A and B are shown apart, each in its own frame.
Chain A
Amino acid sequence: MNGSSLKDQSGRSLSSDLLLFSLLGLLAVAGFVLSLTSGSVSIPFSEVWRLMFDSESSSQSRIIQELRLPRALAAFATGAMLAMSGVMMQVLLRNPLADPYILGVSGGAAVGALGVIMLGLSAVWMPTAAFCGALLSVLLVFGLAGRRRGWSTTRLLLTGVVISAGWGALINLMLSTSSNQTVHSMLFWLMGDLSQSHGELWHYMLIVAVLVLMMANARPLNAMARGELQAAALGVDVRRLRMLLYLCASLLTASAVTLAGSIGFVGLIIPHALRLAGARDHRKLLPAAALLGGSFLMMADSLARTIIAPQQLPVGVLTAVLGVPAFLLILYRSHIPASSAGNRNLP
Chain B
Amino acid sequence: MMAHSAADLLQINQLCLQIAGKHLCQNLDLTLKAGERLAILGPNGSGKTSLLHTLMGLQKPAAGHISLNGQPISQLSSASLAQHIGLLFQSALDEMPATVMEAILLGRLPHQRSWSPMSEQDWQLAGQAISHMQLGDFLKRDVSELSGGERQRVAIAALLTQSPELYLLDEPSNHLDISFQIKTLQTLSDIVQHERRALIMATHDINLAARFCDRILLLMGNGQHIEGPANEVLTETALSQAFQFDIKKITHQGHLLFFPAGFSAN
Interface residues of A (CB under 8 A from B): 1-7, 9-10, 90-91, 94, 215-220, 222-223, 225-227, 229-230, 232-237, 275, 280-281, 336-342
9 nearest A-B pairs in the assembled complex, by CB-CB distance: A235-B82, A3-B123, A3-B124, A235-B79, A3-B127, A225-B96, A340-B144, A235-B110, A94-B95
| B144 & A220 in contact (Cβ 8 Å cutoff) | no
Q: How far apart are the CA atoms of A7 and B122 in the complex, in Å?
A: 10
Q: Is B102 in contact with A237, judged by CB distance below 8 angstroms?
A: no
Q: Is the CB of A236 within 8 A of B109?
A: yes
A94–B96 touching, CB < 8 Å = yes
Q: Which of B21-29, B34-42, B135-143, B209-217 lies at the binding interface?
A: B135-143
Tell me whether B127 and A6 are in contact (CB under 8 A). Answer: yes
Question: What is the CB-to-nearest-CB distance from B184 to chain A, in angstroms, rounded to a whole number?
Answer: 17
Number of interface residues of B (CB under 8 A): 48
Complex CA gap A337/B142 in Å reads 8
- Measured between alpha carbons, how far is A235 from B114 in the docked complex, in Å? 13
Given A215-B114, A337-B97, check contact A9 B139 (CB 8 Å): yes
| B160 at the binding interface (Cβ < 8 Å) | no
Question: Which residues of B are found within 8 Å of A234, using beta-carbon distances?
Answer: 82, 106-107, 109-110, 162
Q: What's the minimum C-beta distance from B211 to chain A, rounded to whole angstroms?
A: 27
In chain B, positions 92-115 with a C-beta closer than 8 Å to chain A are 92-99, 101-103, 106-107, 109-110, 112, 114-115
Complex interface residues of chain B between 67 and 110 (CB less than 8 A to chain A)? 77-83, 86-87, 89, 92-99, 101-103, 106-107, 109-110
Q: With A2-B127, A215-B114, A342-B144 in contact, do A235 and B96 touch (Cβ < 8 Å)?
A: no
A280 and B78 contact, CB distance less than 8 A: no
- B118 contacts partner chain A, Cβ-Cβ < 8 Å: yes
The distance from the CB of A16 to the nearest CB of chain B, in whole angstroms, is 12
Provide the residues of chain A in CB contact with B124, threshold 8 Å.
2-3
Which chain B residues border A1 with CB–CB below 8 Å?
A: 127-128, 130-131, 136
* Distance from A341 Cβ to chain B, minimum over Cβ atoms (Å): 5
Out of A4, A91, A220, A225, which one reaches B109, CB within 8 Å?
Answer: A220
Q: Mark B119-154, 1 if CB is under 8 A from A, else 0.
A: 010111111101100001001001111000000000
**Cβ contact within 8 Å between B89 and A233:** yes
